[in-house]
Structure 1
């Protein structure tokens, strides 16, 4: 068992609770993105035993974090929204040099790769103008709500694996983010199970698809990934903080995020 994945799962779980922050980005920072895709798709094959040691500690770390910190994140976003967003903004900005190096930006990128990266970044950034669906709270399952939650979980999990695309943000756009966070906080098992099954199916499908694209269109896929990461900066940017304490807290938060990203990038390279 790779028990060091507990802390990796902790970091990915925290990020997946924040609309606009991607667990895939954190996996890239930690240097485990390729291994994550391979393990998820391989777990649902005859060679599943090879991947359980990697995935189980990671899943425990993510699951425990989501359960234990959902209320904490909700509190921070409610009472310290700007500093919290600026902290994750620092993490995301800090990962760009690392991903650029992984992508071979200077050596491999052609003009059309740069254009693709900019188009993807602009496309994701434009989602800030999309009004989220009506966030009506679902507390009891019906046939209709079960289908909605299943496919929302599927869509959210596919986004979680793409660096720069937040699963939480997708759930927010679909109008079920409040439902899912409340269900986790209140241990609403039926809603958690239905959404969880959708997430599991989405992980399997998207991990195989992303691996295939990285294998056959490596540079182009990295252009997309970099574009998504850059675009996510605009998605989570909370605006200029007010002068005084909020401004100071936000500056400290973004610097802290940059420092932590730099430390984790070093860990990922090793």
Structure 2
């Protein structure tokens, strides 16, 4: 009861999986494991034709591509064990929840198959806090349908359901991601004054996110959370890291301007000289 009284405000911290909590792409690892070539070309073709929301291309292949008909749930579990995770994922929510007056519920929302994410994050994130693409299997173990794809606007739907079930205000949501499948959900969170964090320099996502953090350590996302939500200064943030046995060796804040400059043709140059 005393602990509950100290909690002043709760937040929902939601994260993508591939390239956000990991260094790998689930589809690439699955294709390499099964000896299937041309995965990236297949993905590019599906994206070009807009068959499915961005991020859901692997699910489309599992359901429709003959080469991927051999995939069974145990293959997806094996893929999860091969994925290289970023450091200290478990400590993200532990450190945040050690702060007096705040409680952060950590969830994963990703287009990757649920079996992959649960396998990769076993013992780190509870299975009930993982929302990935949910596949249906027939009696032979083949993928025969898709119950849910957490890609594109599908992520918005899951996030809204979580926010509603937790009875949180829309401004009590933090989302972090890295790619095009996160655009819809980041725009949605920004609209209601939540916090969005990009973990990639990709222009299509870093220009939308309120903050961008680049690091191989998952603890890096604490910086924008502590600055934007708790209003902490850098000295206090460093002290928190040091209190838990970590040292921030490099911390560069850079504002980036993206420019594309093309030379004028000869006619435009001549006109410019005349007007001068």
The TM-score bracket by the shorter chain reads: under 0.3
State TM-score, norm by structure 2. 0.26
Q: Which structure ranks higher in relative contact order (CA pairs < 8 Å, sequence separation ≥ 6)?
A: 1
- Greater fraction helix: 1
Q: When the two structures are superposed, what TM-score results if normalisation uses the length of structure 1?
A: 0.27
Answer 1 or 2: which has greater strand percent.
2
Greater Cα radius of gyration, structure 1 or 2:
2
